[in-house]
Amino acid sequence: MNITFLGTSSGVPTLSRNVSSIALKLSQSAEVYLFDCGEGTQHQLMRSNIKSSQIKKIFITHMHGDHIYGLPGLLATLGLSGNSKGIEIYGPSELRGFINSALSSSFCKLSFPLHFVEVENFALKNKILFENSKITVECACLKHKIPAYGYRVSEKDKPGTFDIKKAEILKIPPGPIYSELQKGKTVILEDGRSLNGKNFCGPPKKGKSFVYCTDTIFSESAVSLSKNADLLVHESTFSKVDEDMAYEKLHSTTIMAAKTALLSNTKKLIITHLSPRYNNKNTIMPSDLLREAQKIFPNTQLAKDFLTAEIK
């Protein structure tokens, strides 16, 4: 899996940073999951290596405009292109009304179905939000001025490396039988031999995991959601010197994001959702935010628009 940042600014866009959106490209699949969709996201998609026609699911963290204002426009464009066969949209219960109202008021009729999933009960009851043979998606309640939710995408473990030489020595005919053995199944050959696939495979390859937490102040639920994740993307709206403002607005400082990564035993942290106040005209710049976080959690990276990060 890999992610591409389409917007990394907090509240409003700047000349170098658009508002929130991240595209997650799944392994061995053409599918893309979009997390948040701030104004201008479809322009960012056109400038990236992500094709909007690949988007199959959209996950919205909360109803603030810098996370949702781009969604009606993106859906309308997908409808005009005719490439989409349907999209699942996950988010707060108010999201359905917002989308339907925007599309109806602009006389937009989509050429594909929308399927809405309200995430509140899944988060409150710690229920799996989505699952198939390859991945699971979970969500958790965060702490913000309005209801907000973090998301975790986890790959399921993959079969270990198949020992072809061992199969050849035992004169097992290649083809579909190899595939069945690699899945760990027991196969009976035409000559009557019964073979256990587990004897032909190395240890399973652990699946990768990605967690996205914004907008929120430090939250134990974010720590729990991020346990042992390979990559945590966490908002860092404020510098540690503006901690009072962070508590007032219920956003995270760099220290809070780093603390979440440290306590959850995350492998890597990328901080995003930076306040536009931190720029070259300010005494504090984005590079200073990075250094603050790295003092607590060294394996921290600073997000920027169009940065692509492999999850490994």
Count other C-beta atoms under 10 Å from residue 15's C-beta. 7
* Catalytic pick among 66, 230, 242, 305: 66
- Residue whose token pair is 């106040």: 277
Q: Specify whether 163 is catalytic.
A: no
144's tokens: 């913000």
CA distance 122 to 128: 7
- Among the listed residues 104, 205, 88, the one whose alpha carbon sits nearest the alpha carbon of residue 156: 205
- Among the listed residues 220, 253, 255, 80, the one whose alpha carbon sits nearest the alpha carbon of residue 142: 220
For residue 306, list its beta bridge partners.
none
CA distance 77 to 142: 31
Cite the active site residues. 66
